[in-house]
Chain A
Amino acid sequence: RKEVEQDPGPFNVPEGATVAFNCTYSNSASQSFFWYRQDCRKEPKLLMSVYSSGNEDGRFTAQLNRASQYISLLIRDSKLSDSATYLCVVNDDYKLSFGAGTTVTVRA
C-alpha cells in the first residue's frame, strides 16, 4: 500500500467553478501535512500547510481528518492559473512522503 494515495484526476473544470479532491495517508503517526503545487516539468512549490483545525489561504481551503487519515483541498472560483498538479505531502519525522498528484485543468 502506498503511504500517500491521491486520485490522479484529471479534474477538468470551467473558470469560476469549485473543485475539491482528497488524499489518504497510511501512517497514523504522521506529524504534519502539506499541499504542494507542481506545474508541468517544474519543481514542486509549497501551496499551503494543513492544520488540524483546517485553514484557508485566499481561494484555497485545506482540511485534515486524522480519524479517517485523509486530507482535502478545495479551490474556489477557479482561475486558469490554477491549472497544475497538486501533490499531497505527509511528514513523518525527517521524511516527506509524496502522493503522485492530482491534475487540475481549468478551462476558459
Chain B
Amino acid sequence: NAGVTQTPKFQVLKTGQSMTLQCAQDMNHNSMYWYRQDPGMGLRLIYYSASEGTTDKGEVPNGYNVSRLNKREFSLRLESAAPSQTSVYFCASRGTADTQYFGPGTRLTVL
C-alpha cells in the first residue's frame, strides 16, 4: 500500500523556470492538500481540494496553481519560480477522523 506518493523528491530550479509537483494517493480519500514547510515555521497550507473537481486557496497561494486531475491525483504548479519558493513541499490526503496522511515531500531549491 503506497499511501501518498510525490515526485520529484528533489529539484533545483533557476528563477523564472516553471515546474509541476506531482502527488497521488491510493486510499480513495476525497480531500487532498499541498503544504510548504520552512525552517522554524509550521506547515502552511498552499491549496486544498475538498473533492474531485474542486480546489480552494489556503494560507499562502500566491505564485502557485493546482489541478485536481482525478480523485487520486493533485498537482502543484509553479509558473515562474522565485527564490522565496525554496522550501519543502508536502502533499497530504485526509482520511477518517480528520487525520492527514503525508507524502515524503519534495525539496525544492530556487536559485
Contacts and interface: CB of A to CB of B under 8 A. Distances in A.
A in complex with B: yes
B28 to A, nearest CB: 18
Contacts, number: 51
Q: Is the interface of B mostly helix, strand, loop or mixed?
A: mixed
Interface string B91-104: 00000011111111
B45 interface: yes
User: Which of B58, B99, B103 has the largest count of A CB atoms less than 10 A from its CB?
Assistant: B99
Contacts of A49: 97, 99
A44 B43 contact: yes
Interface residues of A, number: 23
B41 interface: yes
Contacts of A99: 42
Contact of A45 (B40, B50, B88, B102): B102
Interface of B: 31, 33, 35, 40-45, 48, 50, 58, 88, 90, 97-105, 107
Which 9 A-B pairs give the minimum distances between C-beta atoms? A98-B42, A43-B102, A98-B43, A100-B42, A91-B98, A32-B98, A46-B99, A99-B42, A44-B102
